[in-house]
Structure 1
Amino acid sequence: MTNVSRLNRPLAVRTLLIGMLPLVLFACTPTVQMVAPTEPITVNLNVKIQHEIYVKVDKEVDDLFSEKGLF
C-alpha cells in the first residue's frame, strides 16, 4: 500500500496547480457590459387633454351685433 501525501507530489503537478489558481479565481469574477439597445426607445404617453371654452357676452353687445352687424 502506497501512501502519497500532498507534500510528496511531483514538482510539475504542484506548478500546474499553482499556475491554474489565478485562472480559476479570474473565471469566477463577474463582468459588466454596457450595450446600446437595438431598437429605438419609445415613450408612450397616454394623456387626455380636455378643454372647455366659455364665452360670456353681455346682452347689449349681443343685440348690437345681431341687429346692425359689426360695421
Structure 2
Amino acid sequence: MTPLDQLKPRMRGTIHDLHVGKELARRMAGLGLRPGSTIEVIRRAPLNGPIQVRIGHTDLMLRRNEAAQISICLAV
C-alpha cells in the first residue's frame, strides 16, 4: 500500500482504505473516494500545495494531509 500523497503525476491505482474520521469519510465517499475506486494523480502543486486527482470523469483537488490518509494499491 502506498499513501496517495506519494504518487507522482500519471500514476494510478485502486483505493484500498481511507484512514480518516467518520465525517471526512462520508464527505470523501460523496466525492467518489471509496475503496475499490480507480484513482489517477493528474498533477501536484508545488510547495506542499494540493494534489489534483481523477476518479472516473471527475477531477478533484485534495489537501496533501488528506491524500496522505488514503492507501492506494498501485496498478501494474
TM-score, normalised to structure 2, is 0.17
Higher relative contact order, chain-length normalized (CA < 8 Å, sep 6+): 2
Instruction: Compare CA radii of gyration and give the structure with the larger one.
Output: 1
